[in-house]
Amino acid sequence: DDLAYAGSLAKQVTGACAALLVQDGALAVEDPVGAWLTGLPGWAQTVRVRHLLHHTAGLPGTDTVWQRMQRAGEGDWTSDGVITALSTMTDLEHDPGAAYAYSNVGYVCLARILERLSGLSLDHLARARLFEPLEPPGLVAIAPCVEIHDRDARGAQFTEQLRVTGAGLVQP
C-alpha cells in the first residue's frame, strides 16, 4: 500500500460536497460566509459561498495567514488556526468577486462551513456522500488542509505523523 499526498485534490472533494449540499437545498451559494463562520470581521458578510468556491473572495493569501498564525504562537497549520488568524484581519486583499486568486484559505473556510452545516468532519461527509456510493478500494481519509505539527505545511513530507493526522488521501 502506498501513501499519496492529495494536496489540492481536497479542493475538488470540498467543492463536490458543497455542490451536493446546494443540490439538497441545505446551502446557498449566496449565503454570506459570516452566516456560517461567526467571529470573523465585517468582510465576512460581503464574502459569499460562491466567492470561496471560485477563488474570488479576496481573502489574504496563505503566506499572510501563516505569518499571522506564527506571530500568534501557532506552530501548526490547522483549520482552527486559519479561522482564528482570519478573525484578526480586518481587510480583504480585494473586493469579493473583483479578482481571481487561488485560495487555500478560502477552501479552509468552505470546508469549515460544510462541517458546521452537515455536523460531520469533511472526511466523513466526503466518505458518506461521495466515496461510499462509488466504493473506491482502499480509500481511508481525506482532509481539507494539512495539519502538520512542528513543520511548515507548504514543504511537508509524508511521515507517520501525517498519516495519523489525516493529511490528504491516505492508504492504510
121 catalytic residue (yes or no): no
Return the ∠ at Cα 112 (arms to 152 and 149), rounded to 5°.
25
Q: Which residues pair with 148 in a beta bridge?
A: 77
* 37, 74, 124, 151, 167 from 4: Cα distances, Å: 31, 26, 19, 19, 9
Identify the active-site residue in 8, 87, 103, 118.
Answer: 8
CA–CA dist 23, 46 (Å, integer): 23
Catalytic residues: 8
